[in-house]
Structure formats: C-alpha cells, structure tokens
Amino acid sequence: MLAALAALALLADDSGGGLLLEGAVAAGAGYDGGAALGPGGLGSTAGTVSAAAGAAVDLGESMGLYAGARLDGLYYADVADLSRTEVTGEASAEVELGRLALAAIPSGGWAWHGDPSRDGPVWTGRLVLRFRAAEALALRTSYAHASRGAADPVYASEWDRLTAGVELRLAERAFISVWAGAGWGDEVIYVPVTTAAAAAKGPGGGRSGGGGLAGSLPVKASAAERKAGIDLELGLGGGFHVELGATLGWVESEVADPIAVFSLLGQTGWRF
C-alpha cells in the first residue's frame, strides 16, 4: 500500500495535479433478514462499522486514480458465526468521456468471522459505468465478481453480480438512488439437520451450525438472486452525513425453495 501511495505521489508531480489525502468513518445498525439463508429466512439485528483512508490524484481533466485501505465490520446479534471484520486494500481508476464515466475498482484482503472456519482471503473486482443524464440525474450500471476463501471449503464462494440504477440529487446535500440487480454463484444454504443428511454426505456439506444456526447444516449450492433497493443520503455539513438503505429480493437454489430476503440499515458517518 505504501508503494501504491508513493507511485500516486510521483504521478501527481509528473501531471501537475495535487495529491489529495482523504478518509471516512461510519457506524450504523439495522436488521438483515437474509443474514443466513434457510427455510423461512434467518434474520438478525446487526451493527456496522467502517473506516477508510487513501490518496487520490487527478491526471488531467478526465482521469483520476485512487489507492487506499479500508476496514469493514458487520456484527450480528443473533447469528454470531456470521459476524465478520474485513481489512482490504483497494484502488480505482476512473476515466470521463463527456457525460460518460467508466471506473475499474479492484480490492483484496482478509476476513475474520465469529466462526474461524469461515476466515479467509477476499477479492473483488468491479466495473462501473455512469451516464450523467442531467445536472442532478445519473444512470449507473455495474458488474462485480467476488471471491471468498475459507478454512472450511463449504464457506468459500465465487459470485457475480449485475446492477443498474438511477441516482437523483434532491437538494445540495440530499441524494436518493433506486437500483435493481441479479447475481449468481455459490451460496451457503442452511437446512434442518433432519433433511440435510443426504446433502451433507456429498460435496458441499459442512458441520452443523452454531452461533444462532444450531440444528442446521450448511450446504454449498449454486444459487441465483434478484434484488432491488432504495438508498437515501443526507449531508449534514462539515463532512457529516446520514444514510438509510432498504433492500428486498429473493434467492433461488438447487437445495431449497425460493427464499425471500430483506434488510433495513442506517448509518451516520464523517468524510474528511
């Protein structure tokens, strides 16, 4: 990470642009109805924390680079095994072509969970395309691939997701965005022990769950999801802001009936 920041500093000198140091911290809480996937859904109240710091540089009027590090925590009250803390390094490169902007955003690091058998590396790559339709209106579409390793292979996964949405600026520091997306890849489905014995004997079967998942077995299965959501952000001045997000959707897999999922999470933060 230090090497990446040093490289940005050299690029800033060569391009004549300034090196901008930036950071953010946030904390929040809410309810995640899809914390774990199983018959009827396995939801939990949750708390979130995040912190990020890095450096950005403009390379002329139409291109910018960023490199930094971040910490993200998601902590469940009712399914402690799934609580996790992630530390990652991330970078981005953005090119603007008139009203269009394209960004590539890779990241990678390590995740620690309430259940150590879930610990492992995390890698994500995203491509984001934005079209500025009007001064206060933007259209966005993105593709992301995420890879998670784990000490127990049943919890390792590869996942792809496509998302499209609209962002509208309601006022100087107030934004609303509406989005919908589809995803596909590996998912862990928690099924009752009495019905999971056969699946657990084959590939993809894991140990009986704990931390709120007692009496169920995790089974890795191919899955597909459909989700939609709405996000609100209100700036409070001085870099402070509040956010509220709601998501609704369902997940289909080869080992269970479609599972409805929903979440409602809010947070407050400070950007500096």
For residue range 86-108, list pLDDT tens digits in order. Answer: 999 999 999 999 999 999 999 99
Distance in angstroms (rounded) separating the CA atoms of residues 236 and 38: 39
Amino acid 19: pLDDT: 85
Which two three-digit tokens encode residue 32?
A: 């995640």
- Tell me what pLDDT residue 60 has: 81
For residue 196, what pLDDT is reported? Answer: 47
Residues 6+ apart with CB under 8 A from 122: 86, 88, 108, 109, 110, 111, 146, 147, 148, 149
Check residue 11 and give its pLDDT. Answer: 52
Instruction: Tell me if 96 sits within 8 A of 228, measured CB to CB.
Output: no
Mean pLDDT calculated for residue range 15-24: 79
**What's 56's domain CATH number?**
2.40.160.40
Give the closest residue to 132 by CA, choosing from 123, 140, 143, 121.
Answer: 140
Q: Give the residue-averaged pLDDT of 12-33.
A: 83
Q: State mean pLDDT over 30-35.
A: 93
Query: Per mean pLDDT, which of 1-10, 22-31, 253-262 is the most reliable?
Result: 22-31
User: How much is the pLDDT for 224?
Assistant: 97
Average pLDDT along the chain? 88
pLDDT digits (tens, 9 = 90+) for 118-141: 999 999 999 999 999 999 999 999
Which tens digit of pLDDT belongs to each residue from 165-209? 999 999 999 999 999 999 999 999 988 876 544 444 444 454 545
What pLDDT sits at residue 198? 44
Residue-number span of the structural domain to which 185 is assigned: 2-271
- How many domains are there within the chain? 1
Query: Quick one: pLDDT at residue 184?
Result: 97
What's the pTM? 0.85
Mean pLDDT, to the nearest integer, of 2-9?
Answer: 49
Which of 10, 105, 98 shows the shortest CA–CA distance to 66?
105
Q: How far apart are CA 149 and CA 121, in angstroms?
A: 5
Place of tokens 């402070």: 240
Do 63 and 86 contact (CB within 8 A), yes or no? no
- Mean pLDDT of the region 148-154: 95
Distance between CA atoms of residues 93 and 233, nearest Å = 24
Residue 60's region, left for phi above 0, alpha for psi from -120 to 50, else beta, is left
Q: What percent of the chain has pLDDT over 90?
A: 74
Q: What is the per-residue pLDDT for 208? A: 47
